[in-house]
Amino acid sequence: MARALNDGLRLALSGDERVLLMGEDVGRAGGVFRISDKLRGEFGEERVIDAPVAESGIVGVAFGMAVAGMRPIVELQFMGFSYPAYDQIISHVSRIRHRSRHRFTAPMVIRIPYGGGIGAAEHHSESMESIYLHIPGLKVVVPSTPVDAKGLLLAAVEDPDPVVFLEPIRSYRSITEVVPGDYYTTPIGEAAVRREGTDVTLISYGAMMRETLGAADVLEGRGISAEVIDLRSLVPLDVDTIVASVIKTGRVAVVHEAPRTGGFGGEIAAIVQEKAFFSLEMPVLRVTGWDSVFPLKRSERLYLPNVAGIAEEVQTRLFEG
Amino acid sequence: MSDLLRIIGNGADVPDQPIPEGLGDKDLVAIYRWLVLLRAYDERSVALQRQGRIGTYALYWGEEATQAGTLYALEETDWIFPSYRQNSIGILRGVPPSVILAWWRGYGGDVGFYDTRHFRTGPICVPIGTHLPHAVGTSWAAKLRGERTASLAWFGDGATSEGDFHEAMNFASVFKTATIFFCTNNQWAISTPVSRQMATKTVAEKALAYAMPAVRVDGFDPIACWKATKDAADRGREGGGPTLIEAFCYRIGAHGTADDPRLYRDEAETEPWKAWEPLSRMASFLDRLGVLDESGAEKIKAEAKQTIAEAVTEMEAIETPGLEVIFDNVYAKDRPWMFIEGLEELRSVGQRELVKPLNAGAPADDTEIPEEGV
Ligand SMILES: Cc1ncc(C[n+]2csc(CCOP(=O)(O)OP(=O)(O)O)c2C)c(N)n1
Ligand SMILES: [Mg+2]
């Protein structure tokens, strides 16, 4: 996935002179995850910019650039370090369209590596997408595959509104596939059905997709046919795909690594009961991270949902319950 | 480096200065002992990381003077707030080194966390610059209670770009708190050189905007660090307000164990700085003074190595805590309902298996993503 994102950034920079990339260590070092590897050499330090260690400044300055007609892509190094920029995002980036009644917009992409599973130090594994989901005016996108990572990134750059683009750290190097070399976009707001099934709908996104698909395999072995939906875009949400699937299966589990309270699983559960209540055979199940601080390295496997656990919960809670 | 406060010369063209008042031979040896202990901890940690026995580690090779010299100038009752770069500073205040090693190993639960209140040492701060207002708060609280307690926070050149740095500086100067802002200007913030971090020539001049005294010291000189900190603490205790100390040095090592500086800097530039590194410099200074000879220094080194070796054994004997650690230390009292249910879920369904490594079956590079952060 790292290479697909690198490729996407390169195409964005070469295709539109207004595009620039800014963030801590994105230039000389090519980003701490090497997502912008070699781009500074190719496009120069005016367009691939090593910023001072100042997240509020990075987003605030990029906002000014966006309003003035540029198309900035910013990288906040880890989700755990994105919070100093929150005020800029919630007070300005997301609402300039509203406050200026369409006269100004902030077409910018805020890339944020997120999530656990790589045994990182404190503050480096957080999955706090909910704090971005709650802000009107923002779009929130999370790819789970390299092909989507590139297509969604390019769609985000083209989008007239600000997009928070969440990159699952754990998938950067563990998820690989052949990615088309040309320029293409993956529409924001469309979920993907990754696997068809008839008995239960499993809904997830980001790094938890691999675990969820693995669980679907396990369930198949136990005679349960799972349909798996990759949301790809959390805001706007592809409600139709979810509802159509639930009407077919009657059972739903949402999987995310973010804490359960206030997490996206609750939102999906609400939508499902609003729109497909009479199709439901069982309450919507949430398999999620806990409502506690993300633990240190050696305990993170206690925190993150995994294949066996998801399969077990789905089977016992939705089929034996 | 001419405007820098410097006591220890290089034994050649740069002369030694008189030892500041308040430091006897015993103190000099004690500071050396601390330098050596920090170095032993640091070198061992890098080795442990390479062997996969601890996680990503933020090394500080060469920056020992900014820690040992500085801390030696403070009272035990003064508050200190380390960043990740001063991660093992607690051991100089009596925290067992095994505790901090265990944090890097990432056990979870209570393991790896020292008693911040007892040691008056803030938890190792990872989000850049966010601990600076805390140092203002603790020194302000002391002032309100009529205590003569100072607070000191370490941070880097990069941290001066964060809003929290400026907000903390302003609070401290407006309310005249006994806060010491100790900036280790090692000239790099991961891959970003200080020239790209700020337009000012020095960090110290930023204090002007806050009507705060500032001093630049040779950050490789533990005695200079001691002197600057001592003066700042003394003045702060007398109601003289905060001080900004810029310890000018150089990040000789990588940013962290996952970082490869060859990607962004010419390692030949690093070479000349090595001559200033504090351990051998302090050792030859003490030798010149006739306070400690080579065999004395060797003995101290051997002791430190031994201390850390024992700490490693101790740390590795710690058992991985049970699954309830996930729900510990979050709220003061009873576990809320979702924790009680969560614990049941974790126990009964075995959702998150204890035995299997997290990414069993996944490609090997899954856990070897280049990332430094910290
Ligand atoms: C708020 C925040 N943003 C980004 C990071 C990632 N990060 C870790 S260290 C670092 C550079 C800090 O440089 P400096 O302040 O000079 O301290 P040094 O590491 O050189 O001691 C960055 C950007 C972080 N930890 N916290
Ligand atoms: Mg630095």
DSSP string, A78-135: -GGG-GGGHHHIIIIITTHHHHTTTS-----EEEEEE---S---TTSS---THHHHTS
Q: Does B187 fall in a domain?
A: yes
- Residues B261 and B296 both lie in one domain: yes
Q: What share of chain B is helix, strand, coil (3-state, %, to 5)?
A: 45, 10, 45
- Residues B95 and B148 both lie in one domain: yes
pLDDT at position B349: 64
- The residue whose CA has the least distance to atom 19 of ligand 1 is B189
Residues on chain B touching A54 (C-beta within 8 angstroms): 161-163
pLDDT at position A321: 66
Residues on chain B touching A77 (C-beta within 8 angstroms): 373
Q: Going by DSSP bridges, is the β-strand pair A192-195/A233-235 parallel, antiparallel, or unpaired?
A: unpaired
| Ligand positioned closest to the Cα atom of A53 | 1
Q: Which residues of chain B have pLDDT under 70?
A: 1-2, 349-374
Is residue A256 part of the annotated active site? The answer reads no
| Ligand positioned closest to the Cα atom of B253 | 1
pLDDT at position B109: 81
- Residues B272 and B328 both lie in one domain: no
Q: Does B373 fall in a domain?
A: no
Residues on chain A touching B105 (C-beta within 8 angstroms): 297-298
pLDDT at position B368: 38
Q: Does B34 fall in a domain?
A: yes
Output the domain CATH number for residue B85: 3.40.50.970
| B138–chain A nearest CA distance, Å | 22
How many domains would you assign to chain B? 2
pLDDT in tens, B171-203: 999 999 999 999 999 999 999 999 999 999 999
Name the class of domain A192-319.
Answer: alpha beta
Q: Does B9 fall in a domain?
A: no
**Widest Cα–Cα separation across chain B:** 71
Q: For residue B160, which atom of ligand 1 is closest to its CA? A: 15
Q: Which residues of chain A have pLDDT under 70?
A: 321
Distance A308 CA to ligand 1 centre (A): 37
Measure the CA–CA gap between A142 and A149, rounded to whole angstroms: 8
- Residues B104 and B143 both lie in one domain: yes
Does the domain at A2-171 match CATH 3.40.50.1240? Answer given as no
As annotated, the residues of chain A forming the CATH 3.40.50.970 domain(s) are 2-171
pLDDT at position B2: 59
**Widest Cα–Cα separation across chain A:** 60
**What pTM does this model have?**
0.95
Domain encompassing residue B207: 25-316
pLDDT in tens, A166-198: 999 999 999 999 999 999 999 999 999 999 999
CA dihedral B297, B302, B308, B314 (to 10 degrees): -150
Residues near ligand 2 ion, CB 5 Å cutoff: B 156-157, 186, 189
Contact A180, A274 (CB under 8 A): no
User: Among A176, A117, A114, A115, which residue's Cα sits nearest to residue A150?
Assistant: A176
- Residues B112 and B65 both lie in one domain: yes
Are the Cβ atoms of A301 and B158 closer than 8 angstroms?
no
Ligand 1: list residues with CB < 6 Å.
A 24, 53, 55, 77, 81, 84; B 85, 126-128, 155-159, 184, 186, 188-190, 251, 255, 373-374
As annotated, the residues of chain A forming the CATH 3.40.50.920 domain(s) are 192-319
- Residues B248 and B361 both lie in one domain: no
- Residues B340 and B259 both lie in one domain: no
